[in-house]
Structure 1
């Protein structure tokens, strides 16, 4: 009986094709993860990302051995933009306007991508370059605060920890209203900025609130399963 033919072993000539295939697979994984994270946050499992990419889970793990590695690869550009936002704000001649623009830009980045909303309030100790960008952005924000407080426009008791609270609050609103009232975060932010302004500082008019129907849909979506039928009719 003749030995089975398992084909020729890979040669150096096959290497460019294999590298091209690997690069295409990597891009498919990143594209799928980017879309799923944006829509559903960082809780999307690797298996779902593999299915969306049309690949096996083992292939995903060959490219990204941990979820943190994948998250870092997906959001590196956005973290660069986050860091860039501090530089833009520091370059603004009006320190108060630079502060307002920075807060607005960061909250807007959260609003357009639920995955990045999660990234903003989560640390990834194993992703060193990722966390370095976060540290630099934080240090830039400290300078933004000092400039704005120095003009007397920002309340003297505003501290850097307040930004974290803003991001937590905004992430919650974005998560609850993303489909029903996607601009609701702007109303929240306008109220917060009014609270951060020192007395006498001119602030922009509040944007309109979400309508009752939109908020009712958001509340129904946020209600725990099994309780939605118990909600008052005007809140369903």
Structure 2
């Protein structure tokens, strides 16, 4: 029998690797601040490459979105897995809410993709379904201990993220402060008998500019 060899894919040249990294960095920045509706041509311009180069590396926006947010998806899975592994279900549930808000405050685009608001990013549907299924199991455990209100459903997390998406501020520190307080308020609303612990401080609004 004649041995059949399959040619190995050629590694990308260093300039091609550099272009790819620049495209991903530019897309991550623009998706985070402007959401997923930003045009591909704007991403190419921001990356300093031509549209042909962008489409050669990422033929569709879907492939680019999945590449940009692969790390965030892994982080979300890790957050939920950590919550499930906690021997105290309520503490695990609470940490999932806190860390999920922390992840989503940094990127408007990731929130849109996670909530399936971007129809072409269907790869996120399976990840979202898996994470919501794991969250549902964690919620059932917290409900059995009597800490989580019995009428909580996993879709409440989507409602939470929809409301969380509305947090806007010019500075990152202000957005983060607002996110922490929002998460604390939501956690207390989910708890059967809310603890009267102090909330994180509310962010101060920026003073108006002099005209």
Alignment TM-score > 0.5, same fold = yes
- Which residue of structure 2 lines up, in the alignment, with residue 111 of structure 1? 105
Give deviations 1:105-150, integer Å, cap 9, x for gaps: 0011011222222222225665565433222211111111111111
Give deviations 1:169-209, integer Å, cap 9, x for gaps: 00111xx225373211222221111111102x535421111
Written as runs of structure 1 = structure 2, the 5 A alignment for 1:33-182 is: 33-122=27-116, 129-173=123-167, 176-177=168-169, 179=171, 181-182=174-175
What TM-score, normalized by structure 1, do the two folds share?
Answer: 0.76
- Which residue of structure 2 lines up, in the alignment, with residue 8 of structure 1? none
**2:148 matches 1:187:** no
1:90 touches 1:98 (CA, 8 Å); kept in 2?
yes
The structure whose Rg is larger is 1
Which runs of 5 or more structure 2 residues have no equivalent in the other structure? 1-8
| C-alpha spacing 1:129/1:68, structure 2 compared with 1 (3 Å) | closer
| Distance (Å, rounded) in 2 between the aligned partners of 1:111 and 1:87 | 20
Quote the offset at 1:79 in angstroms.
Answer: 0.3
| Distance (Å, rounded) in 2 between the aligned partners of 1:45 and 1:204 | 45
**2:172 matches 1:208:** no
Q: Which has the higher contact order (CA 8 A, sep 6+)?
A: 2
Give deviations 1:73-112, integer Å, cap 9, x for gaps: 1001110111111110001111101011001100110112
Quote the offset at 1:55 in angstroms.
Answer: 0.5
RMSD: 2.6
Which runs of 5 or more structure 1 residues have no equivalent in the other structure? 1-14, 221-232
Written as runs of structure 1 = structure 2, the 5 A alignment for 1:217-232 is: none
| Distance (Å, rounded) in 2 between the aligned partners of 1:100 and 1:118 | 23
| C-alpha spacing 1:42/1:179, structure 2 compared with 1 (3 Å) | farther
**Which structure features the higher share of helix residues?**
1
Q: Secondary structure at the match of 1:154?
A: coil
| C-alpha spacing 1:70/1:27, structure 2 compared with 1 (3 Å) | same
Report the number of matched residues: 201
| C-alpha spacing 1:92/1:39, structure 2 compared with 1 (3 Å) | same
What TM-score, normalized by structure 2, do the two folds share?
Answer: 0.84
| Distance (Å, rounded) in 2 between the aligned partners of 1:164 and 1:130 | 14
Q: Secondary structure at the match of 2:165?
A: helix
| Distance (Å, rounded) in 1 between the aligned partners of 2:37 and 2:118 | 14
